[in-house]
């Protein structure tokens, strides 16, 4: 794969890390909690000096990857990577929309079409580019699966050592698709929340870039590109609604940040979309808090086939609640059976085979449609964040397969023949 062409930054946007709670500011370094109040840090930009027409021109002339958005990402110099990530298809899902009661403008953002087949390529590309800028040569992460794949692959491509920590009970496909890249793969006897706690402790002992711990403010910026791309691919329009899955709540809250940044600087007209989050009933801390009208999430012990969303103590849960409530949206929850049905519905109507997280998202979309919340003319972007081949067990037993002797008679006897004129 070609290395992205170098690009010069057209503007010098001022950037810093800012505490989401008390507003304290820090330089762009490996730091993720506020020293004053222990609140989470986020990259803050001052787009005051941005030449909007020039920024748009540069985006459109940029590489076919997330680096076309580098004016909106936290780097001193033009970042690059050898595994080009992003510019995944946005599919007008007319048959899915028709099935859901005549919705005319349902769009599927298929982020399985990334180098390691999930949206985690975006966050890892940003985190590793920043880790290199800060001088790290070991990359690490705590993962529910897709992050493991992406860290192992992007570290290999960059020639960096990596350590990937996963719960031991992960899907075999995700373990195989990580180890193959030559990472140090560490199975931890516990759930994701145990893995994450361990890695937080390790990050104090080892001078490594943990992409979703000490690199988290940069990592999370990668998710904004999923908002930018949808706007571009809709012909510089903002959708009316978005439906996206929630694990830690990072993707969900950064999508919101991405849409608002472009609305605020005037790259696009319109208003902030209505945000719908999607969780599995077997790991529903944010959906439950939403239903109960709480501002905080009560941690849960995950038990769901949607392992990539199985974070029982979501770091960005309260912010995800703010986004759903502030936009007039909701946070849905769906059972494992509904997840399997969601995977099947998407496959039958669009030809896209998604993993369990996508099943959660599609099943949540169906809930909204069944409740009549979506106007037939509204534009809805549905974020499909991972690939079905990584969670094959979810498809097992969901369809019939015939076994016949190799004769026409046998076929005629056993297989329902298509109706012919």
Ligand X SMILES: *Cc1c(COP(=O)(O)O)cnc(C)c1O
Judged by beta carbon, residue 20 or residue 104, the one nearer ligand X is 20
Report the C-alpha gap between 273 and 243 in whole angstroms. Answer: 10
User: Minimum distance from CB of 246 to ligand X (Å)?
Assistant: 5
User: Minimum distance from CB of 96 to ligand X (Å)?
Assistant: 19
36 contacts which partner out of Zn ion, ligand X, none, CB within 5 to 8 A by kind? Zn ion
Judged by beta carbon, residue 22 or residue 176, the one nearer Zn ion is 22
Site for ligand X in 121-150 (CB under 6 A): 146
CB atoms within 10 A of CB 6: 10
24 contacts which partner out of Zn ion, ligand X, none, CB within 5 to 8 A by kind? Zn ion
User: Minimum distance from CB of 306 to ligand X (Å)?
Assistant: 8
Closest CA to 338 of 382, 297, 287, 282: 282
Cβ burial 298-320 (10 Å sphere, 16+ → b, else e) = eebebebbbbbbbbbbbbbbbbb
User: Minimum distance from CB of 24 to Zn ion (Å)?
Assistant: 5
Kindly write out the interface string for residues 294-323 of this chain, putting x where it contacts ligand X by CB under 6 A and - elsewhere: --------------xx--------------
Is the distance from CB of 228 to CB of 258 less than 8 angstroms? yes
Judged by beta carbon, residue 55 or residue 363, the one nearer ligand X is 363
By CB under 6 A, the count of residues binding ligand X is: 17
Judged by beta carbon, residue 246 or residue 374, the one nearer ligand X is 246
Is the distance from CB of 101 to CB of 373 less than 8 angstroms? no
Kindly write out the interface string for residues 335-374 of this chain, putting x where it contacts ligand X by CB under 6 A and - elsewhere: --------------------x-x-----------------
| Residues engaged in binding Zn ion (CB under 5 A) | 19, 21-22, 24, 34, 36-37, 39
Could you say whether residue 110 binds ligand X (CB under 6 A)? no
Stretch that binds ligand X, among 23-31, 176-184, 247-255, 282-290 (CB under 6 A): 247-255
Judged by beta carbon, residue 36 or residue 60, the one nearer Zn ion is 36
Integer angstrom CA distances of residue 33 from 17, 20, 24, 39, 337: 10, 10, 11, 6, 38
Q: What DSSP string describes 313-346? A: S-TTHHHHHHHHHHTT-EEEEE-HHHHHHHHHHH
Is the distance from CB of 321 to CB of 256 less than 8 angstroms? no
Give the max Cα distance, the chain: 78
247 contacts which partner out of Zn ion, ligand X, none, CB within 5 to 8 A by kind? ligand X
Q: What DSSP string describes 74-118? A: --SS----SS------EEE-HHHHHHTTS-SEEEEEETTSSTTSB
Stretch that binds ligand X, among 161-169, 171-179, 249-257, 403-411 (CB under 6 A): 249-257
User: Minimum distance from CB of 150 to ligand X (Å)?
Assistant: 9
* DSSP state at residue 222: G
Residues that bind ligand X (CB under 6 A): 118, 120, 146, 245-252, 308-309, 355, 357, 385-386
């Amino acid at each position: 794969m070609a290395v992205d062409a170098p690009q010069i930054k057209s503007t010098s946007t001022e950037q810093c890390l800012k505490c989401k709670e008390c507003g304290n500011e820090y330089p762009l370094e490996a730091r993720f909690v506020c020293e004053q109040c222990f609140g989470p840090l986020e990259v803050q930009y001052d787009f005051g000096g941005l030449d909007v027409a020039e920024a748009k021109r540069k985006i459109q002339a940029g590489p076919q990857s997330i680096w076309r958005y580098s004016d909106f990402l936290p780097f001193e110099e033009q970042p690059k990577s050898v595994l080009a990530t992003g510019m995944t298809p946005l599919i007008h899902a007319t048959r899915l929309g028709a099935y859901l009661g005549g919705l005319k403008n349902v769009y599927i953002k298929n982020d399985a079409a990334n180098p390691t087949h999930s949206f985690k390529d975006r966050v890892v590309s940003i985190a590793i580019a920043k880790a290199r800028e800060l001088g790290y040569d070991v990359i690490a992460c705590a993962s529910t699966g897709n992050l493991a794949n992406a860290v192992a692959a992007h570290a290999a491509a960059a020639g960096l050592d990596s350590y990937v920590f996963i719960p031991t009970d992960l899907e075999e496909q995700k373990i195989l698709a990580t180890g193959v890249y030559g990472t140090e793969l560490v199975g931890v006897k516990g759930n994701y929340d145990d893995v994450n706690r361990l890695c937080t402790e390790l990050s104090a002992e080892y001078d490594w870039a943990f992409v979703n711990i000490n690199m988290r403010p940069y990592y999370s910026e990668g998710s904004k590109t999923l908002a930018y791309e949808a706007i571009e691919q809709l012909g510089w329009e903002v959708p009316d609604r978005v439906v996206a899955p929630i694990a830690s709540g990072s993707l969900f809250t950064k999508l919101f940040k991405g849409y608002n940044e472009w609305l605020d600087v005037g790259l696009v007209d319109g208003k902030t979309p209505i945000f719908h989050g999607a969780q599995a009933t077997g790991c529903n801390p944010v959906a439950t808090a939403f239903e109960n009208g709480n501002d905080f999430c009560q941690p849960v012990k995950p038990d769901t086939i949607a392992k990539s969303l199985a974070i029982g103590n979501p770091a960005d849960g309260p912010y995800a609640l703010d986004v759903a409530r502030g936009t007039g949206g909701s946070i849905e929850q769906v059972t494992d059976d509904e997840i399997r049905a969601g995977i099947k519905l998407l496959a039958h109507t669009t030809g896209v085979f998604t993993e369990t997280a996508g099943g959660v998202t599609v099943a949540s979309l169906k809930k909204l449609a069944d409740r009549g919340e979506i106007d037939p003319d509204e534009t809805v972007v549905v974020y499909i964040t991972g690939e079905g081949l990584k969670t094959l067990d979810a498809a097992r037993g969901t369809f019939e397969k015939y076994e016949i002797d190799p004769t026409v008679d046998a076929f005629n006897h056993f297989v329902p023949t298509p109706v012919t004129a």
